[in-house]
Structure 1
Amino acid sequence: MRNRTDLSRNSLALISLLIFARCVRAQVEPPREWIDPDTGHRVIRLSEEPGSQSLYFHQNAYTPDGRKLIISTPTGIAAVDLQTRAVEKIVEGRVRIIMVGRKTGSVYYMRGNVVYATDPRTRATREVAKLPPRASVSTVNADETLLAGAITEGAFDARPGANGPAAAPQDNYPGKGEMMERRLAARIPMQLFTIDTRTGEMRTLLRSTDWLNHIQFSPTDPTLLMFCHEGPWHKVDRIWTIRTDGTGLKKIHERTMKMEIAGHEFFSADGKWIWYDLQTPRSLVFWVAGYNIETGERVWYNLQRSEWSVHYNISPDGKLFAGDGGGPNSVAAPGNGQWIYLFRPVAVPDRTEGALPEAGLISPGLFQAERLVNLSKHDYRLEPNVTFTPDGRWVVFRSNMHGPTHVYMVEVQKSGGQARRAN
């Protein structure tokens, strides 16, 4: 009798524990879908595994057919079907994603000092290149014939008490500004290089003691590479392009005042424009500036401080922009600016009637902003990094607004009905 009683008690305790665990999970797990009550836009959680992240804002994350989004997870790389929302693991193990190839759709990534490419449909994987010590690859060109990256020839110790603060998993961590000052002052020799994906041939394009970073190929021109001089933005001429034969080194933005900053540059989807965050001066007057690579035309769109974003992006058709807002410790703490934004560019009417045809003047405009997602509960030490889906209907971002980091997308068009909530 006593054994039966003990068994009953144990069974009851186990059942209670399972019910409790299920309730806790229901409370902690972020909703699958909802209408943001502050904006009226539909938001969908795409990732299943806590700690999943979308790619950096200028890394191509979409397959050429526009159907799949590639994300990183704590256990590897996954593909999200944007139509069915099914998530499929395609690479196991901790790796660093480079980007999705624009021609084949292969996912390029690094494991140790080796670059691999995996077909997201078949999972067939091939080794692309072995890298020398201190080398890293950041981008793949439009026809997937070249990789590009940088070699750091000297050492930089980021530990506390050395050259700067310890590395942190967040994008914007305490002490990052001091680390960037020290790293810039170190003037460590670097190389900008390409690797032929067919032959493995490595070519040095540029040697410099500037801090070379933010390396990205044009999405359409296989021979055009953009990179930056990293560091505190008010101390560097940041945005540069170079051809893959080592010619044509060009500074994209000329500073006109002290404390002017420009950065977080990216290409338009058609490869014709370079866009970037511009502040004249820092934290006071805000623009998203554009430079036409072929004609040299410049367009600047003004926006309010509360609308400033850590990163911007442009829709595939070039008609809309998006921004990921900013937190209290961002470069320009925007006050009530913790939102995912949609921006509609509006040009200032030109009434010069052709009187200044050769002046090379900037074409001004402004952004009309619309809030898409309330990120008041998001910790901006993790930057959301917005991108448009290939059909232009959604903006993808990463967020910890519900606790663990997940990948979300918000619909560009305001919802006309109620979203189904799912846990």
Structure 2
Amino acid sequence: MFSSYFLRILRGGVPFLLLPALACADEKTPPKSWVDPDTGHRVIRVTDDPGSSSLYFNINTYTPDGKQMIYTTPDRGIGVIDLTSLKARPLVKGPVGGGPGAVVVGHKSPVVYYFKGKENDPQYASLWKADINTGKQQKIADLPRRSGVFSINADETLGAGSYIVGDGEDYNGRQAGQIAHKNTVAEPLNKKEKMARRFAAKLPMIIFTVDLHNGQIKPVFASTDWIDHLQFSPSDPTLLMYAHQGAWQQVDKLWTIRTDGSENTHIDPRIMQMEGSGHQWWDKSGKNIWYDLHMPLGVNSFVAGYNVENGSRTWFHYEPQQASIHFNLSSDGKLFAGDGSNAPDAKWIYLFHPKLVKDDHTLGKNLIRPGYFVAEHLVNMAHHNYHLEPNVSFTPDNRYVIFRSDMFGPTYVFAVEVKKHNEGAD
């Protein structure tokens, strides 16, 4: 459709050959950078291709030297961002992957691991890796039917994945291998309905590891609960975290397990009706698991930490207007970030300064250490559609918070400086 501007041009008799140039001049190109007038922080558009995107908040997307990060390209391929220049380049042509965690960077080498389905049978996939510096790609292993690999361990010897056994319903409510007739119009399910259907199905699942050197597949754990979001510890190569999926108040959410199947441990036992937790991640040290905690849902909210070495807990309280879909922690453990939400007055990218409540020799043992967040706005997200999750993460040098947004229509990757513009940057 022509804008009123172009209609005025046509009525004015502008020569037709000039229209393409005028159209290009009138086309709104998203700014490359700006200082947010509501926050004082500089925001930089990192990618140029509409449809490019950063990854899920708890996936390691950064190279071990902290100088590069990967992102997904519009063709569902993989690209690389130089964190010094904030320039982006393609790496692997798409499509690759198949869900959160389908692309992950190793903790010890500049290698990105991903899986891709077979063209003639999408129920089968293979695991691949690509050298981020050279672009060299190599197939590692063929994976079990209906599976993917979603995490790589600390020493890059194992990948972890899961699969559904048999031909039960998938996430969208279709039978495995079922293809809708071209004249059939299926009524779409929203996310809540899809999750409820998948939760009720009680499909048999297997968590497995794959040896990254010889491709050997080894079952670790079997369950009829819906299991997802596998995350290896970034420091302990034998420790794996996983989650029970479903409505947060209806599942025993967070678990850790060893790669030999031992020490299967529920780490967030419920103590209140309607208590819910989720959106969990490891800190960079591998000592703590952090997650969003509600006591009960919709009333009192915390970002909670669990120390896997000694079982100690820390809870930082946040206010309703600071509610975020996901939170994250800086590599030095000093700052948190949040990506905001549709909650009232919560459409911001947040920086949180954690404050611990001083203890005056409280009587008791194994007590939760309390704290709270002091919030700072980084980016006004009023024009972002929160059907798209921004998924914040700190760059390894803690200079930027990376997020994705459709504030200009298409999705792009953005970086916002942690320091205010007038404070400068290191």
State the TM-score, normalized to the length of structure 1.
0.89
Give the secondary-structure state (helix, strand or coil) at the position aligned to 2:350.
Answer: strand
Structure 2 gaps of 5+ residues are 1-13, 118-124, 181-187
Q: What CA deviation, in whole Å up to 9, does each residue of 1:300-345 have, x standing for no partner?
A: 0001001011101000000110000112xxxxxx201010001111
Partner letter of residue 223 of structure 2?
S
Counterpart amino acid of residue 90 in structure 2: K
Matched, 1:195 2:204: no
**Contact 1:35–1:43 (Cα < 8 Å) also in 2:** yes
Q: Quick one: structure 1 residues 229 and 418, their matched pair in 2 at CA, closer, same or farther if it must change by over 3 Å?
A: closer
Write the deviation string for residues 192-226 of structure 1: whole angstroms up to 9, x where unpaired. 11011112111111100000101111111111100
Q: 1:161 to 1:316 in 2, by over 3 A?
A: closer
2:183 paired with 1:156: no
Cα RMSD over matched residues?
Answer: 2.1
Task: Quickly say closer, same or farther: Cα 1:161–1:70, change in 2 above 3 A.
Answer: closer
Q: Structure 1 residues 95 and 230 mapped into 2: Cα distance closer, same or farther (>3 Å)?
A: same
1:170 alignment partner in structure 2: none
Q: Which residue of 2 aligns with 1:408?
A: 414
Q: Is the 8 A contact 1:210 1:229 kept in 2?
A: yes
- AA at the equivalent of 2:350: Y
Structure 1 pair 178/66, CA: closer, same or farther in 2 (3 Å)?
Answer: same
Q: Is the 8 A contact 1:69 1:82 kept in 2?
A: yes
Aligned to 2:243: 228
- Counterparts of 2:54 and 2:240 in 1: how far apart (Å)? 23
Kindly report which structure 2 residues correspond to 1:22-421, keeping only aligned pairs within 5 A, or say none. Answer: 22-25=24-27, 27=28, 29-75=29-75, 76-96=77-97, 97-112=102-117, 113-154=125-166, 155-157=168-170, 159=172, 175-327=190-342, 334-352=343-361, 355-356=363-364, 359-416=365-422
Deviation, 1:160, is 7.5
Residue equivalent to 1:17: 19
CA distance in 2, matches of 1:227, 1:132: 19
Which amino acid in the other structure matches residue 246 of structure 2?
G
Q: Which amino acid aligns with 1:123?
A: G
Q: Is the Cα contact below 8 Å between 2:140 and 2:214 reproduced in 1?
A: no
Per-residue CA deviations over 1:257-277 (Å, capped at 9, x if unaligned) read: 111100011000110100000
Identity %: 48
State the number of aligned residues. Answer: 390
Cα distance, 1:178 vs structure 2:
1.5
**Shift in Å at residue 19 of structure 1?**
1.5
CA–CA separation in structure 2 for the residues paired with 1:417 and 1:251: 44
Cα deviation, 1:258-299, whole Å, max 9, x if unaligned, reads 111000110001101000000000011000000011011100
CA contact (8 A) 1:35 1:418 kept: no
Runs of 4+ in 1 over 3 A off after TM superposition: 157-163
Distance 1:115 1:34 in 2: 40
Q: In structure 2, the residue corresponding to 1:150 is in which secondary structure?
A: strand
Q: Which amino acid aligns with 2:347?
A: Q
- The SS at the match of 2:366 is coil
User: Which has the higher mean CA deviation after the structures are superposed, 91-100 or 383-392?
Assistant: 91-100
Q: Deviations over 1:236-264 (max 9, x none)?
A: 01100001111010001010111110001
C-alpha distance in 1, partners of 2:58/2:64? 16
The alpha-carbon deviation at position 135 of structure 1 amounts to 1.1
Using a 3 Å threshold, how does the CA distance of structure 1 residues 116 and 62 change in structure 2: closer, same or farther?
A: same
Secondary structure of residue in 2 paired with 1:416? helix
